[in-house]
Amino acid sequence: MTVILTEPLTAAAFAPFGDVIELKGTPDKIINQGLCGRHHDLARVEADAEGRVGISLFDAEPRALPYRLEMMERHPLGSQAFLPLSPTSFLVIVAADAGDRPGKPHAFLTAPGQGINLFRNIWHGVLTPLSPPGVFAVVDRIGAGDNLQEYWFDTPYSIEASP
Ligand SMILES: NC(=O)N[C@@H](O)C(=O)O
Ligand code: NI
């Protein structure tokens, strides 16, 4: 198996694939009589005209490193955001398109509290928590039609922690 080493999630490194959702140093606006900071418009949420955007909860089983990556998927009709409901780190695997299949994957480790938004039609691994509880709010496209394309690798990758 080809080994992919994890790397820390940063907005710059993730920019081709999506948005990193996290508190900024300074809020965009102070609201609620000065008792709340609004960190505004952190992600580009997309859906086709026939769909709509909805919020779901995912309760996912934690995985462990080294992680066997057998499949990646993408959603041609909309974006998909994952917001952890607990301050845990999770694994975010993404890849550029290489002709209707994923190119070489990147494996990002989030910092506790970071969330992500995958742009529409970006190849990614499924939600992969690394510790319990694996409960996430998910903001993605709801509607009829086929919004899931999977690609199963002939030879899995092994996602491993950087030394
Ligand atoms: N299938 C589904 O709803 N979840 C995946 O899209 C995922 O990225 O986890
Ligand atoms: Ni997905």
Q: What is the pLDDT of residue 150?
A: 98
Q: What is the pLDDT of residue 145?
A: 96
Q: What total number of domains does the chain contain?
A: 1
pLDDT-derived band at 93, boundaries 50, 70, 90: very high
Q: What is the pLDDT of residue 130?
A: 98
Assembly ipTM: 0.91
Q: State the average pLDDT for the chain.
A: 98
Q: Which two tokens stand for residue 134?
A: 């694996």
- Cis ω for the linkage preceding 66 (within 30 of 0): yes
Q: What is the pLDDT of residue 33?
A: 98
Residues 135-151 have pLDDT tens digits of 999 999 999 999 999 99
Please give the distance, rounded to the nearest whole angstrom, from the Cα atom of residue 31 to the centre of ligand 2. 33
Residue 100 belongs to what domain range?
2-160
CATH of the domain at 46: 2.60.120.480
- Burial of residue 39, with CB atoms counted within 10 A of its CB: 0-12 exposed, 13-18 middle, 19 or more buried: middle
Strands 123-124 and 90-95: antiparallel
Name the amino acid, one letter, at 44: R
Q: What is the pLDDT of residue 89?
A: 97
Mean pLDDT of 33-47: 98
Q: Which of 71, 83, 153 is nearest to 117 (CA)?
A: 83
Please give the distance, rounded to the nearest whole angstrom, from the Cα atom of residue 73 to the centre of ligand 1. 8
Q: Please tell me the residue having the least CA distance from ligand 1 atom 5.
A: 126
Answering whether pTM is above 0.90, one says yes
